[in-house]
Structure formats: C-alpha cells, structure tokens
Chain A
C-alpha cells in the first residue's frame, strides 16, 4: 500500500527534508538537525507540517450527544471557539486514541471538529457512524482529513509569526485552547492556540489546496517529526500508538495520567469500567524518569527493580536536547511511581539507574 503524502511533500523534499513513515503517511522527520529544530522551538519559533493528523467533522441536531457519548471529556462545556483535550476509549475504558475536540461556530446546530491521530481517520469515522446508527442519532459525520492541511507554529515567538501572517485577526487575544476562523495570507483558516511542544503556539488548519500560500506566509524554522517527538517527551505528553495502544499497550486514561479528561458525570462508552477503576485505584501508572547512568532509554526496554525483577516498560525515551540528559516515559507498578524512586532500565542487557521524575522534565 502506498503512503499518504502531505500537500507540501515536494516542497519539503526540495528544502532538504528526510522523511519517515508515520501512521501510513510519509512525513518530514528532520530538515537539518533534530537538535537545532528542537532549540528553535524552545528559543524562537518553529513550524511543523502535521497534515497527517486526522480531522473528523460532526454536525446536525444530535452532534453534541454523539460527541459526548464517544469521548470522555464534557463537550457541553465548550462554547464556539473552545477546544478540549479528550480521550476515546472502548468498553473496557482502554484508550483507542487521544484527540483535541474543537467546537466550530454553530451552523443550524452545533458543529464539532476533532483531531484523531495520524492514520486513525477511517477507524474513527467508522466508529462514529456505526454508533450514530446504533443509537439512531441525527448527526452528520465527515472525514475531512484530506480537506485540511495542518501546521503547528510553536515557540516563544509564535504569536509574532502568526500575527505577521494574519495581521487583522487579533490572534493574541486567543487564550490557550481557544480557536477562531482567521484570514491567514488571504486564506480562511481555523487557527487554534494549541500545540504539542509545551511552548506557546498555534495550530493552523487551512484548505489542502492553499497549503503552499499559508505555509510560506508563516516565517519560522521548518521542523520535522523528530523534534516534535523530543519536544513532547520533555513535556511528558503521550504519543498515540506508543505510550498507549489498544493492542500493544492497552491503558486507561487513569493509568496513562490523563484522568483529568474523564468526566464521569457524563455518559460515554467505557464510563462504567473507568468508574470501577477510579474506585479501585490503578495497579500501574505512567511515570517519567531520568537515567542516572550513561545510556539512552528507548521504547520497549524493560524496567526492573534492584533485584532484577522486570516490573515495567519504557514506552518513550530519548536524550533530552534541552537538558542533555537521558529521559524516558513508561509504566511501573504504582508502588514504584513516587518521585525520587530509583529503578533500573535494561539497556542492551545492562542495568542503568533510573530516577522517577514527574514530567514535565523542563520548567514550563
């Protein structure tokens, strides 16, 4: 099967990007240096093409009911132009995907746009339409993934960059997680003050065919998925399919440390299972750690106790470009999750001391 490509694929290639497969898409992983791109976002501003992210639009009289029953957060708390982080879980409360749900300006009824991760669009479209039909709800579900290109402009200078491209939009007035339609370089875009880096920033959704106009109007260092990954790891943000995965790493929001998106006073698929887990408590929990010995923790490495008992697993790890220290994320039994606890990560069979740290790893 061929890989899907973002609209600016050729432009990225011309700019010297190297590509990687991610979620069925062929995306830029780095242009010049992951470290340099990472530093640009922490210190100035970078721009990521994240057009591989999925977009599903839900409208119609029962749009709110459908969204409420398929996501764990409370969509009724959203006014037009608001957004919220949320989880999509199965009957057992296991996370299928995490997402940001935007409430668009009303048309006849409320309209929502949510952003599943790369490659999840078809699965989510099927899930939404099949539950809609099962519950006999009146809602229209559209997979608009290839209608929208998406760029993330992130860093302390992000506001300046988007304001230069959209001078009339007063984007500085948006608070975190607010969004608006705005004219960016003459193109109507959905601009949200959201991101995945820990820095101030904006995510810009623009019509697929206008991608070049909008991208070239945003003056920032082009960044690939490599630095997107190191930036999110420094914040302890989850990566779908890696830090949780319904097949390979089945985890509930409580285990994954995102219990704050579960609103148990709303009705949603998986609520009863999560209610039970909330009352019983979790056996294992998502933690951050730094390695005290030399080495780099990587996805899939075991975490052991001093006695050599394997008790956990690394789900993400890297050498933190900001700290120049090895950092990682993973799951351990709750009794080992306290900050300062020392465990051992097995790097090619050798034990490296790992101290539990509560993310973010940097001050943000």
Chain B
C-alpha cells in the first residue's frame, strides 16, 4: 500500500501540496515515486517564478521515464529544494518529507477546494 497522508491534498497528476500556513509545499506522491522507479534528476523553477494552477513547473526523471510536474495552485515560488540536485533519490526515500520540491506563496487559496482529498486520491490509485 502507498502512503497518502491525510494532511495533504493531491492532483490527478500525482503532486501533493500542504494547505496550512502562509506558504505551501509541493512534491510528488509515494505512488508516483514508486511508479517512476529510481529518480535520477529533478528540474525545478527559479525562486520568484510565478506559476498558475496547472502550469508545468519542472520535470522529474527516473532511469526509465521522464515526467512533467504540475503546479497544484497558483502562486510565487519562494523556495526550491536544492538538495534534490545532488540527491534526487530523496524523492524515492522520503516523498512527503526531504523529497519535497518547492514552496509557493499562494495567490488564491480558494484553489485548494479544486484539489483531490486524500480519499479521492486513494480511489484514483487503486
């Protein structure tokens, strides 16, 4: 079984985001990292970039696949996880923790309502 923490919301394309605090974190789900296999490369946007919900914000590559990353909500990039540049395997080892990808300052928190709940995402992965 794949871990789907209750304190996060999800996209059909397997990104997760937290919904509390001023900034939100974004990463990919346990299910997604398992599907990809060994992650070997992550490409992320620059701090200050503006993203709209649904925008491609980067790429995650495993040995066997290349996968685009999509922004769950609109906002400004305030941090990216630079540890992933030297240690992309953190995405496999700890997808909800040290494998996070970026932090956004959301511009429209109403967009959280459009995201999948943990239950809805669980149904999608079954």
Residues of chain A whose beta carbon lies under 8 Å from any beta carbon of chain B: 29-30, 33-35, 226, 230, 294-296, 298, 318-319, 321, 326, 348
CB neighbours (8 Å) of B38 from chain A are 33-35, 321
CB neighbours (8 Å) of A321 from chain B are 38, 63
Q: How far is the CA of A294 from the CA of B38 in the complex (A)?
A: 17
Q: How far is the CA of A319 from the CA of B38 in the complex (A)?
A: 10
A-B contacts, 15 listed (Cβ < 8 Å): A30-B64, A33-B37, A34-B62, A35-B38, A226-B37, A226-B64, A295-B41, A296-B41, A296-B61, A298-B66, A318-B63, A319-B40, A319-B41, A319-B63, A348-B59
CB neighbours (8 Å) of A35 from chain B are 38, 63
Does the CB pair B63–A230 fall under 8 Å? yes
| Shortest distance from the beta carbon of B68 to any chain A beta carbon, whole Å | 10
Say whether B85 faces chain A, with CB atoms less than 8 Å apart: yes
Does the CB pair B85–A294 fall under 8 Å? yes
CB neighbours (8 Å) of B66 from chain A are 296, 298
Q: How far is the CA of A29 from the CA of B41 in the complex (A)?
A: 20
Q: Say what secondary structure dominates the interface of chain A.
A: mixed
Q: How far is the CA of A265 from the CA of B63 in the complex (A)?
A: 42
CB neighbours (8 Å) of A298 from chain B are 66
Minimal Cβ-Cβ distance residue in B for A29: B64
Does the CB pair B41–A226 fall under 8 Å? no
Residues of chain B whose beta carbon lies under 8 Å from any beta carbon of chain A: 37-38, 40-41, 43, 59, 61-64, 66, 85
Minimal Cβ-Cβ distance residue in B for A36: B38
CB neighbours (8 Å) of A33 from chain B are 37-38
| Shortest distance from the beta carbon of B45 to any chain A beta carbon, whole Å | 13
CB neighbours (8 Å) of B61 from chain A are 296, 319
| Shortest distance from the beta carbon of B80 to any chain A beta carbon, whole Å | 13
Q: How far is the CA of A240 from the CA of B34 in the complex (A)?
A: 29
Does the CB pair B41–A294 fall under 8 Å? yes
The 3 nearest A-B residue pairs measured at CB: A319-B40, A35-B38, A34-B63
CB neighbours (8 Å) of A29 from chain B are 64
CB neighbours (8 Å) of A348 from chain B are 59
| Shortest distance from the beta carbon of A32 to any chain B beta carbon, whole Å | 9
CB neighbours (8 Å) of B64 from chain A are 29-30, 34, 226
* 9 extra interface residue pairs, beta carbon distance < 8 Å, beyond A226-B37, A296-B66: A30-B64, A33-B37, A33-B38, A34-B63, A34-B64, A35-B63, A318-B63, A319-B41, A319-B63
CB neighbours (8 Å) of A295 from chain B are 41, 43
Q: How far is the CA of A298 from the CA of B40 in the complex (A)?
A: 13
Q: How far is the CA of A294 from the CA of B61 in the complex (A)?
A: 12
Q: How far is the CA of A295 from the CA of B38 in the complex (A)?
A: 15
CB neighbours (8 Å) of B62 from chain A are 34
CB neighbours (8 Å) of A318 from chain B are 63
CB neighbours (8 Å) of A30 from chain B are 37, 64
Q: How far is the CA of A33 from the CA of B64 in the complex (A)?
A: 11
Minimal Cβ-Cβ distance residue in B for A319: B40
Of the listed residues A294, A296, A326, the one surrounded by the most CB atoms of chain B closer than 10 A to its CB is A296
Does the CB pair A34–B41 fall under 8 Å? no
Minimal Cβ-Cβ distance residue in A for B88: A319
| Shortest distance from the beta carbon of A263 to any chain B beta carbon, whole Å | 37
Of the listed residues B43, B59, B63, B66, the one surrounded by the most CB atoms of chain A closer than 10 A to its CB is B63
Q: How far is the CA of A58 from the CA of B44 in the complex (A)?
A: 55
Q: How far is the CA of A207 from the CA of B19 in the complex (A)?
A: 59
CB neighbours (8 Å) of B40 from chain A are 296, 319
Q: How far is the CA of A295 from the CA of B63 in the complex (A)?
A: 12
Q: How far is the CA of A230 from the CA of B64 in the complex (A)?
A: 10
Q: How far is the CA of A294 from the CA of B63 in the complex (A)?
A: 14
CB neighbours (8 Å) of B43 from chain A are 294-295
Q: How far is the CA of A348 from the CA of B66 in the complex (A)?
A: 11
